[in-house]
Amino acid sequence: MGISDLIASFLQESLDESDGGVLEVQRSDLAQRFNCVPSQINYVMSTRFSPEHGYIVESRRGGNGYIRITRVRMDRQTLLMHVVNSVGGELDLASAKAILSNLTTSGALDKNVGETLLACMGDRALGAVPRQTRDTVRAEMMKQALIHQLG
């Protein structure tokens, strides 16, 4: 079991024991506890406790900084719209893979649809698109595909 898995398990167990599905922790305390850099904590937050997984993460940096994880339940449409609104103007391939994986795992997208979208957004499919503009094209493709899934 890797460090990310250990951190995620610890946070999940703590969240399960918390009142009301809300957990507040210090980033520095977590990093110290698991003997890792704070960016490792950030990685776990962004990959394991994302809205696609049913969580909202609020963060405050600085001396008294904290991370607040709230478990939420979103319906499929709300989740897809949240992803559409959070994609931004560019989307690299690794992020597209993570988003589609999270959406299929959560059941918001059918596995075959997720795999098809990933194939369409891959560098091989976008080979005719200049490398410097692929992330922009990929972002628009993701947004349009997810909006289409809403209909």
Q: Which amino acid is at 23?
A: L
- CATH topology for 3-71 is Phenylalanyl-tRNA Synthetase; Chain B, domain 1 (3.30.56)
Binning pLDDT at 50, 70 and 90, where does residue 64 land? low
Digit-coded pLDDT (tens) for 95-134? 899 889 888 888 889 999 999 999 999 999 999 999 999 9
Q: Are 37 and 31 in contact (CB under 8 A)?
A: yes
Q: Compute, in degrees rounded to 10, the torsion defined by CA atoms 13, 43, 54, 18.
A: 30
Q: What is the mean predicted confidence (pLDDT) over 139-145?
A: 97
pLDDT computed for residue 126 by the predictor: 97
Residue 74 has pLDDT above 70, yes or no: yes
Q: Output the pTM of the full model.
A: 0.65
Q: Are 63 and 88 in contact (CB under 8 A)?
A: no
All structural domains of the chain with their residue ranges: 3-71, 76-150
Mean confidence (pLDDT) of the chain: 89
Digit-coded pLDDT (tens) for 30-59? 889 999 988 888 888 888 887 767 788 888
Residue 149 has pLDDT above 90, yes or no: yes
